[in-house]
């Protein structure tokens, strides 16, 4: 390099894309010549040489995958480079470190004194100084900043630079050149056109804006040569065929290249067809297509009408079912209101007791929430008085109903005693056997009804004479003298007394005459099995004891057992049991446990296992609860049921695969309830296993006559 070509001793450093006011005003001294053995700035004893001033490409390696390129004059020092990069990354210059080949470059070292590759590109490692490398004047507690490429590209929108090597054979003078190319970032912020957001996943979908370049109205003429480029991947393509093709051509004027006829085909002319025939054939095809199109249209129309008819039928059935359900609810409410106003049976009065208990719990909850201290005690005492009054009123009504229904119960008993014996005989023929004892009961019943009628004096005397004649045939009755004496006294009073009150005599006569009807001359030789109740210490027959599927032995009679229980709505549990049995009969499952359970067992299942509410909706309305099958293919059992409302039951029976509909946690909860039910009804499970293994379960529910005939066969 000649002395005329050397740059001046002091030159202002030139930086691309940097405002002149921001360029550092530092003396630019040319460093020593590059020594390939060292990258450190060491003093040399040689004479100062002048270096040609030119722009070079500098690559900064921030990490293994992050590289930034810039163009600087080759005489710029590392200190100036740090100031420029610190401004672009918005960090402090003192915190930056430049390395090359693992060595730290000093600030006074120039770019031309560092290593460069075959293309003249200088590569440095740009890092942040650690806590141990900080200066003594800085506070070590301050957080160290990071090199963020988002700040470098997005905020300053800085271009990248590459050095393109042009070989000598592509240049005019035949010398290789290195051309510095600036890559302008022409990306724009794409405008928001429209879009939507998925409510389930929350993802946003935006309409695409495909233009990647800047707007045309913002393009300005710049005095440099540019070209829009795009990456292109070179792919090789084989133009020649994979195998040789033979063609008919001369080789040397004598020999002719043979052409294979393996793929040739012959065209044979067919029958002549006129233009009219051709048009007719085309119209025939069109007509066929028209017929097929109309046929498919009719099939689709028919399918749509059938589906619409099916849909209307389903909607109508659903509406009818809803109406029936509402009517059943209204009838149930009306029936409950009538029962509460005019109770007659034990279940009706249990319903009243349950209503009183429900009202008491609600009042106690109200008192606890509103009062405290002495006021609460006073309110509880008032509540206790009201409860006693209500229970006394219910008991008084129960006593009146009992007395009013006494004659009705007696009539039903006499009717049952006078009924002939019936059984099923040969070829399912019903046989009636009318014994003398049943005939006697019916005859005496008619006399008993006449005695209770209000008659005139003469008619009453005739009736008394006829009854006294009949009593002479019943002298074996233990209370015959007393009964005969009562009729004789009434007859004397009617004959000789002008006015007398015989109502007391007639009541006593009716009581004794009713006992006469029940009296049997011959005692039955068959001994009725009996047992003593452990509560009331009375000996009673097994029919008077409460039978439950959960008990292991019979020990408490019905009256004593129900005294221990709280008043419950037994009619509701009876209705639930009837629904279970009705459903099992429809499914033709005569061996189901539903025909063995009692209403008390159903109450225990709902209250203790399912806690008195639906497993799905948690509804506590007992009148709507049902116990359908959990698995439809298995017989009903306490360990194969679920507590649901009536509507939920209908939807549950429409499910084919339970695991696809219900949550795994819910299925686990139902399985735990089934395990509890199996432990509570373990005796029932043991009996079921025994009957099924021995093959005797099919006899359950059959009458004695039928079973005896089968045994004889």
Within this chain, do residues 427 and 326 fall inside the same structural domain, yes or no? no
169-222 tens-digit pLDDT: 778 787 887 777 777 666 666 677 778 788 888 888 877 766 555 554 444 545
Average pLDDT over residues 85-102: 86
118-176 tens-digit pLDDT: 778 888 988 888 644 444 444 444 456 778 877 777 665 556 667 777 787 778 787 88
Residue 203 lies in a domain: no
Give the range of the structural domain holding residue 543, as residue numbers without chain letter. 527-565
Pairwise pLDDT comparison (417 vs 211), residue with the higher score: 417
Within this chain, do residues 24 and 173 fall inside the same structural domain, yes or no? yes
Within this chain, do residues 541 and 479 fall inside the same structural domain, yes or no? no
Average pLDDT over residues 478-497: 88
Is the confidence at residue 397, as pLDDT, over 70? yes
pLDDT of residue 42: 42
Residue 303 lies in a domain: yes
Within this chain, do residues 167 and 54 fall inside the same structural domain, yes or no? yes
240-249, 256-265, 336-345, 632-641: range with lowest mean pLDDT: 240-249
Measured distance CA(77)–CA(13) in Å, rounded: 10
Residue 370 lies in a domain: yes
511-520 tens-digit pLDDT: 899 988 888 8
Q: Are 58 and 124 in contact (CB under 8 A)?
A: yes
Within this chain, do residues 514 and 536 fall inside the same structural domain, yes or no? no
Within this chain, do residues 112 and 68 fall inside the same structural domain, yes or no? yes
Measured distance CA(707)–CA(330) in Å, rounded: 44
pLDDT of residue 526: 62
pLDDT of residue 138: 46
Sequence length of the chain is 713
Within this chain, do residues 59 and 118 fall inside the same structural domain, yes or no? yes
Measured distance CA(677)–CA(639) in Å, rounded: 5
pLDDT of residue 232: 60
Within this chain, do residues 109 and 171 fall inside the same structural domain, yes or no? yes
pLDDT of residue 323: 92
pLDDT of residue 629: 93
pLDDT of residue 389: 93
Residue 271 lies in a domain: no
Q: Nearest CA to 146 among 169, 123, 127?
A: 127
Which of 404, 429, 454 terminates a domain? The answer is 404
Is the confidence at residue 544, as pLDDT, over 90? no
Measured distance CA(490)–CA(305) in Å, rounded: 86
331-360 tens-digit pLDDT: 888 888 888 888 888 888 888 888 888 899
Is the confidence at residue 664, as pLDDT, over 60? yes
Which DSSP string corresponds to 192-243? ---EEE-TTT--EEE------S--GGG----SS---------------S-SS
How far from 549 is each of 394, 584, 684, CA to CA, in Å?
A: 32, 19, 6
How far from 7 is each of 2, 54, 114, 179, CA to CA, in Å?
A: 11, 10, 20, 21
Pairwise pLDDT comparison (622 vs 690), residue with the higher score: 622
Residue entry with tokens 């009854």:
467
Residue 396 lies in a domain: yes
Residue 383 lies in a domain: yes
Model pTM score: 0.47
Q: Nearest CA to 467 among 492, 481, 448?
A: 448
Helices (H), 497-557: 503-518
Instruction: Report phi then psi at 289, rounded to 5.
Output: -60, -40
Within this chain, do residues 34 and 156 fall inside the same structural domain, yes or no? yes
Q: Are 480 and 467 in contact (CB under 8 A)?
A: no
pLDDT of residue 187: 60
Residue 697 lies in a domain: yes
Strand partners, 272: none
pLDDT of residue 614: 92
Within this chain, do residues 91 and 136 fall inside the same structural domain, yes or no? yes
Return the percentage of the chain with pLDDT > 70, whole number: 74
Within this chain, do residues 532 and 582 fall inside the same structural domain, yes or no? no
Domain tally, the chain: 6
Which of 129, 163, 183 terminates a domain? The answer is 183
pLDDT of residue 10: 34
Q: Are 107 and 78 in contact (CB under 8 A)?
A: yes
Measured distance CA(64)–CA(710) in Å, rounded: 94
3-state secondary structure 449-512: HHHHCCCCHHHHHHHHHHHHHHHCCCCCCCCHHHHHHHHHHHHHHHHHCCCCCCHHHHHHHHHH
251-299 tens-digit pLDDT: 565 665 666 677 888 888 888 888 888 888 888 888 999 999 999 999 9
Q: Are 584 and 564 in contact (CB under 8 A)?
A: no
CA of residue 443 relative to chain centroid, distance: 68
Mean pLDDT value across the chain: 78
Exposure b/e, 60-97, CB count within 10 A at least 16 = b: bbbeeeeebbbbbbbbbbbbbbbbbbbebbebeeebbb
pLDDT of residue 344: 84
Residue 216 lies in a domain: no
Within this chain, do residues 596 and 706 fall inside the same structural domain, yes or no? yes
Which CATH number goes with the domain that contains 141? Answer: 3.10.20.90
């Amino acid at each position: 390099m000649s002395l005329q070509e050397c740059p001046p001793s002091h030159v202002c450093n030139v930086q691309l894309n940097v405002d002149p006011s921001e360029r550092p005003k530092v003396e630019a001294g040319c460093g020593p010549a590059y020594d390939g053995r060292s990258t450190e700035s060491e003093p040399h004893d040689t004479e100062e040489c002048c270096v040609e001033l030119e722009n070079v490409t500098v690559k900064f390696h921030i990490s293994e995958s992050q590289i930034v390129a810039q163009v600087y004059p080759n005489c710029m020092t590392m200190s100036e480079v740090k100031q420029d990069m610190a401004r672009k990354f918005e960090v402090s210059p003192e915190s930056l470190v430049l390395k090359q080949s693992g060595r730290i470059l000093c600030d006074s070292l120039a770019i031309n004194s560092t290593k460069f590759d075959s293309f003249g590109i200088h590569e440095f490692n740009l890092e942040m100084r650690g806590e141990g490398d900080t200066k003594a004047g800085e506070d070590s507690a301050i957080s160290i900043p990071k090199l963020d490429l988002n700040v470098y590209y997005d905020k300053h929108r800085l271009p990248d630079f590459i050095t393109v090597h042009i070989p000598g054979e592509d240049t005019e003078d035949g010398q290789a050149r290195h051309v510095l190319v600036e890559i302008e970032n022409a990306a724009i912020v794409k405008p928001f056109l429209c879009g939507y957001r998925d409510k389930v996943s929350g993802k946003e979908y935006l309409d695409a804006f495909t233009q990647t370049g800047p707007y045309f109205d913002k393009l300005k003429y710049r005095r440099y040569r540019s070209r829009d480029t795009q990456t292109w991947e070179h792919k090789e393509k084989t133009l020649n065929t994979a195998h040789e093709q033979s063609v008919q051509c001369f080789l040397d004027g004598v020999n002719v290249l043979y052409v294979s006829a393996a793929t040739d085909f012959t065209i044979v002319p067919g029958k002549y067809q006129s233009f009219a025939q051709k048009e007719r054939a085309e119209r025939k095809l069109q007509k066929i297509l028209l017929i097929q199109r109309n046929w498919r249209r009719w099939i689709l129309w028919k399918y749509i009408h059938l589906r619409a008819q099916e849909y209307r039928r389903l909607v109508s059935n659903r509406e009818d079912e809803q109406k029936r359900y509402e009517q059943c609810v209204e009838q149930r409410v009306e029936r409950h209101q009538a029962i509460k106003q005019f109770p007659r049976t034990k279940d009706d009065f249990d319903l009243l007791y349950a209503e009183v208990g429900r009202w008491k719990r609600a009042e106690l909850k109200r008192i606890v929430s509103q009062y405290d201290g002495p006021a609460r005690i006073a309110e509880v005492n008032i509540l206790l008085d009201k409860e006693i009054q209500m229970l006394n009123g219910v008991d008084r009504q129960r006593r009146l109903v009992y007395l009013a229904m006494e004659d009705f119960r007696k009539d039903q008993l006499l009717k049952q005693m006078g009924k002939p014996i019936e059984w099923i005989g040969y070829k399912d023929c019903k046989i009636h056997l009318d014994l003398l004892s049943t005939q006697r009961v019916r005859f005496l019943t008619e006399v008993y009804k006449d005695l209770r009628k209000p008659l005139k004096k003469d008619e009453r005397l005739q009736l008394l004479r006829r009854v006294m004649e009949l009593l002479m045939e019943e002298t074996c009755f233990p209370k015959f003298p007393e009964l005969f004496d009562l009729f004789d006294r009434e007859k004397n009073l009617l004959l000789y007394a002008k006015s007398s009150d015989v109502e007391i005599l007639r009541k006593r006569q009716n009581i004794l005459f009713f006992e006469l009807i029940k009296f049997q001359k011959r005692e039955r030789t068959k001994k009725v099995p009996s047992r003593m109740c452990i509560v009331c210490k009375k000996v009673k027959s097994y029919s008077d004891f409460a039978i439950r599927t959960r008990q292991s032995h019979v020990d408490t009679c019905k009256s004593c057992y129900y005294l221990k229980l709280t008043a419950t709505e037994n009619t509701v549990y009876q209705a639930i049991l009837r629904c279970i049995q009705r459903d099992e009969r429809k499914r033709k499952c005569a061996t189901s446990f539903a025909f063995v359970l009692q209403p008390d067992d159903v109450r225990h299942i709902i209250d203790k296992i399912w806690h008195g509410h639906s497993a799905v909706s948690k509804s506590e309305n007992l009148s709507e609860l049902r116990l359908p099958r959990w698995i439809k293919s298995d017989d009903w059992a306490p360990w194969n049921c679920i507590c649901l409302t009536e509507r939920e039951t209908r939807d549950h029976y429409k499910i084919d695969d339970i695991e696809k509909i219900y949550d795994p946690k819910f299925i686990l909860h139902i399985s735990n309830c089934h395990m509890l039910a199996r432990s509570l009804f373990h005796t029932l499970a043991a009996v079921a296993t025994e009957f099924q293994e021995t093959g005797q379960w099919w006899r359950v529910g059959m009458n004695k006559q039928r079973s005896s005939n089968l045994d004889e066969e």
